[in-house]
Structure 1
């Protein structure tokens, strides 16, 4: 069964544009090679962090939305954990409303 997932990760701020693009492609291909389908990837740019992470005050935020059965996540997160370019990551499973709920909301409108 396929679910929708969202992974937000933060890359080191000192990476150049080519290194950022290579990192994005690396994690997308890890997912694709294991059967996930990329829906959307957003490069959210360099932002100030709420607190210092491994001596960094800024980071480059990347958001990936994709579908899969969940088995793809472990391999991608393992690659992120051992990578020197990723300073933080988080994956969440998106809640998909049931058809009945969508129809009930539409009927009320």
Structure 2
């Protein structure tokens, strides 16, 4: 018994009849002696190039375990199935039940799209905030001028320290004279 990965690209018009087709195809696989370990429905994706008249395809990935003698018969059944646009059967060392790269790319793309939508929403909220009127701007300017006149506490302390030092020096000079 060998492990296989079967990738099918199905006609996207099959979307309404997808579940019955999947059940039928899985029964064909079991009749041929293949055990299905994992089935991943990737969904409809755009093809790199048109195949026939199709620009999109419905991807379906199976992880199988079966007899190598039945692979040719499986190839023949897939080849004459009008719903299958393309297929690929790979012999693998082990059965992997993790998501394929196609699904991971889709999840990452959805995540990036959600982030972009969130950023756009935040930008829209910032743009919708009311702009200050000229009277509000004058009030803000006057309050900022008051803040400029007030010096930070550290500078005030140093100036008072300088004044005390200069007073002491003057009193010392008077005593010496």
Task: Kindly name which structure, 1 or 2, has the bigger radius of gyration based on alpha carbons.
Answer: 2
* Contact 1:9 1:61 survives alignment (8 Å): yes
User: Does residue 1:4 correspond to 2:12, yes or no?
Assistant: no
Q: Which moved more, 1:84-93 or 1:65-74?
A: 65-74
In structure 2, which of residues 21, 33, 36 is the aligned counterpart of residue 35 of structure 1? 33
> Are the structure 2 counterparts of residues 94 and 35 from structure 1 closer, same or farther at C-alpha, using a change threshold of 3 Å?
same
Q: Give the TM-score taking structure 2 as reference length.
A: 0.50
Q: Which residue in the other structure is 1:62 paired with?
A: 60
Correspondence 1:1-109 to 2 at 5 A: 2-17=1-16, 19-96=17-94
Structure 1, gaps ≥5 residues long: 97-109
Q: Following the alignment from structure 2 to structure 1, what is the Cα–Cα distance between the partners of residues 28 and 81?
A: 13
Structure 2, gaps ≥5 residues long: 95-177
* Contact 2:6 2:62 survives alignment (8 Å): yes
Q: Following the alignment from structure 1 to structure 2, what is the Cα–Cα distance between the partners of residues 75 and 23?
A: 19
Return the structure number with greater helix share: 2
The one of the two structures with greater contact order (alpha-carbon pairs below 8 A, sep at least 6) is 1
Q: Following the alignment from structure 1 to structure 2, what is the Cα–Cα distance between the partners of residues 67 and 41?
A: 12
* Contact 1:11 1:20 survives alignment (8 Å): no
Q: Give the TM-score taking structure 1 as reference length.
A: 0.78
